[in-house]
Every structure is written in structure tokens, then in C-alpha cells.
Structure 1
Amino acid sequence: MNGTSDTEPEGQPTKRTLRRDFLAVRSGLTGDDAQKAAAVLAERALELPELAGAHTVAAYVSVGGEPGTRALLDALHARGTRVLLPVLLPDNDLDWGGYEGPGSLARVQHERKMALLEPSGARLGPDAVLTADAVLLPGLAVDTRGMRLGRGGGSYDRVLARLERAEADPALVVLLYDSEVVAHLPAEPHDRPVHAVVTPSGVRRFR
């Protein structure tokens, strides 16, 4: 399972086309814009009851033009929340490790992929995500149903399938820029809606 079908009815944009368009907009953001957005996103996300009451949060380290997560990771860690970060495996599945501050990250260059910052400590196994009370999912967009457009690698489709098989029900949250909340995105049978999206202008819930 890779969750990467890009076929859509005639006249409708494909996931591949949408990914290209959203990434193009992100590439036009200035560093100052991105830094300001990251600070506001962290502030808004920290106010979420789903994160405020969480013992364990599975998150990720933002890369490229993604809405920044570093300030949020540090704030969660500082208030005693256990933070899990992904480690990309060769088959695109995700292992997990604990975040212990900026010094606990290592830059890893994956073959034919971008370099990622990953936790350098002990590996906890792919099932570690099942302990999370909330999961922050990377994405390029979300629609009014809560359907998320990912990058197409399928890693988080596997995470969501693992949660579903275990009947785990953590809060699923996406951090995006305001322009990335749209009316409709193509969806497939394996796609699962998120529960909330946080943007610089506010929070929107889907259940």
C-alpha cells in the first residue's frame, strides 16, 4: 500500500497536479513570512485542548517550505510532553524516536529523497505511534471535510492504517498556511479525515 493513486475524473485536478501547485506557492514564501507563521502556529497549536492534555504527541520536524514546527516541538518538550518524531525507513514506513531538544536531532540524507532531521536516540519501533494522544500530520492542504493532501510517499497512510488496525483514536491535527484550506480535494477509499487544522488565522475542526 502506498496511497499514491493520482487518477481523477476528467476535468478534475489530480493529486499530482495539486501537489505541484501547493509546493510552488510555498516556494514563494520569504524566510521572514515562514518564521512569523511558525511562531503563530506554535502559539495556536499549544492552545489546542488535544495538545494541552496530551501525555504523548507524535509530531515531525518541518522541512523546506512546510509550516515550521521547531518552536512547537520545543514548547511541547519544555512543558513535559513526550514528543515522538519519525524516522524514515527504506520502505517509506516510519519508525519513531523521542525528542529531547534541538541537540537530539541528526541530519539524515535518504537515497533519492530530501535530507531530514530525525531523532538520534533509541528507535522505539513503528508501533510507538500507538501511544500518542495526538498525532501531528504533515500535509500540503486539507479540505472542508478534513481530507488531507500529503506529499504522496504513503508514509502517513501507513501510520493512519496502523492506528486504525489497533483501534487507536488519537487527535489528528494538520498545520497549514491559510491558503491551503480549500473547498475540496480528491480522496480515495483509504484516505482518512483529520480532526483539526491549525493555520495562522485560527483552528478549524472536522468532528
Structure 2
Amino acid sequence: MDKPRLRSAIGAARAAVSEDDRHTASVMTREALLEQPWVQMAGLVACYWSIGSEPSTHGLVLALWKHGTTVMLPVLREDDDLDWAVYDGPDTLAPGRFGIMEPVDVRRGVDAVRTAALVIVPALAVDRSTGVRLGRGGGSYDRALARVGPNVPTVALLYDGELREGIPGEPHDIPVRYVAQPDGITRIVPGRA
């Protein structure tokens, strides 16, 4: 299946799930992530503020922040690249481009993601064998992931059934190293069947 049709199919499947079930799945995913030592020890985390039917990151961002972690959230630039700003509590967000909530803090630049000890990104699906993620098609997160060092955990948040085989990849796609779902964390080892 090509990327546009796959995006449409997964989007429709997500929309068909009740809000209560999506909330429960998001809480389970958050708890699975927060149990990981490499998440607990990360002093600076790049995350995102979820929208629509995405697995919710609102509770995750708040939990990390309350734990004392510095959390950076993206600010979508006019060229669709991602700038970064620090989250400093629920009252420090304002609608940005397309109405997506963004921190009002000083912009740190596109390279700020290089300093993160953990990077959490959205995805519609991830290929189990390669780590290639299916995003919304703008390429913003592939550009950000290209700036992340080789030893930094990169995690896509998914619902059950969205870690699968056969996600079409392109040369610019940057794979993730982990997937977090309601049933736990999966480490992606490219080439492992």
C-alpha cells in the first residue's frame, strides 16, 4: 500500500476508536515509557504536543516536567522545519501554526534537538524490521531526527497494531530506535526478522 492510502487507512482506524479507549491506551503507553531507566535519567527530552487522535503526550510531558526533566516541544517554522522551545508548565503554551500548541519560551533553533538525551516523535505506524516511521508527510520530523546522535533513544508513540511490516520507506526517512505502545516498549533492531 502506498503512503497516502496507508495514512488514510490508519487515520480512519484511529478515528473509529472511542476517546475513552484512546485515553486508556495513551495512559498505558505513558506508564510503559516512564518505567524505562533511560527515560527516567534523561535530563533533556524533546517531545511533541499531541493533537487529534494521536496517542496523547499531554500527561507524559507534564509527568516528565514534574519529575524535573527539561522538556522541549517543537515550534513549526514557515519552512516546515522544527524549531524548539522549553515547556514550563501548562500555562506556557499558545496556539502556533495550524492551531498546534507550542511553548511561548525563547526559540532554541533547529539544532537544539541535538542536545536532547531522548527524542519522542509522532507516527502513524513504524516498520518492525527497519524502524521507518510513517508520519503525516511533511518531513519535519525526518529533518529533526537527522540531527539526533546515533546513541540517543528515538521513540515513536503508537497504538496497538501500528507496529507492522512493509511500511514504505524513502531515502530521506530516518528510522526510530524504539516504539512505545500500550503493551510496552519495542526496540527496533534493523535486519532482525
Whether TM-score is above 0.5 comes out as: yes
Question: What is the CA distance between 1:50 and its match in structure 2?
Answer: 2.4
Give secondary structure in 2 for the equivalent of 1:203.
strand
Gap regions ≥5 residues in structure 1: 1-12
Gap regions ≥5 residues in structure 2: none
Question: What is the CA distance between 1:168 and its match in structure 2?
Answer: 5.4
Aligned runs of 1:120-159 on 2, under 5 Å? Answer: 120-145=104-129, 146-159=131-144
Give secondary structure in 1 for the equivalent of 2:64.
helix
Distance (Å, rounded) in 1 between the aligned partners of 2:101 and 2:150: 27
Bigger drift between 136-145 and 168-177 goes to 168-177
Q: Aligned residue for 2:64?
A: 76
Give secondary structure in 2 for the equivalent of 1:135.
strand
Q: Deviations over 1:56-101 (max 9, x none)?
A: 1100000000000011101100111110000000110011100111
- Residue 74 of structure 2 is aligned to residue 86 of structure 1: yes
Distance (Å, rounded) in 1 between the aligned partners of 2:145 and 2:32: 24
Contact 1:41 1:200 in 2 (8 A): yes
Q: Deviations over 1:91-122 (max 9, x none)?
A: 100111001111111122x2xxx420100111
CA, structure 1 residues 43+121, in 2 after alignment: closer, same or farther (shift >3 Å)? same
- Residue 169 of structure 2 is aligned to residue 184 of structure 1: no
Give secondary structure in 2 for the equivalent of 1:83.
strand
TM-score normalized with structure 1 length: 0.87
Q: Percent identity?
A: 47
Distance (Å, rounded) in 2 between the aligned partners of 1:116 and 1:191: 23
Bigger drift between 25-34 and 72-81 goes to 25-34
Question: What is the CA distance between 1:47 and its match in structure 2?
Answer: 1.2
Contact 1:130 1:168 in 2 (8 A): no
Q: Aligned residue for 1:106?
A: 94
Partner AA of 2:66 in structure 1: A
Distance (Å, rounded) in 1 between the aligned partners of 2:37 and 2:121: 17
4+ residue runs over 3 A deviation: none
- Residue 44 of structure 2 is aligned to residue 56 of structure 1: yes
TM-score normalized with structure 2 length: 0.93
Distance (Å, rounded) in 1 between the aligned partners of 2:164 and 2:66: 34
Number of matched residues?
188
User: CA-atom RMSD, angstroms?
Assistant: 1.2
Bigger drift between 24-33 and 80-89 goes to 24-33
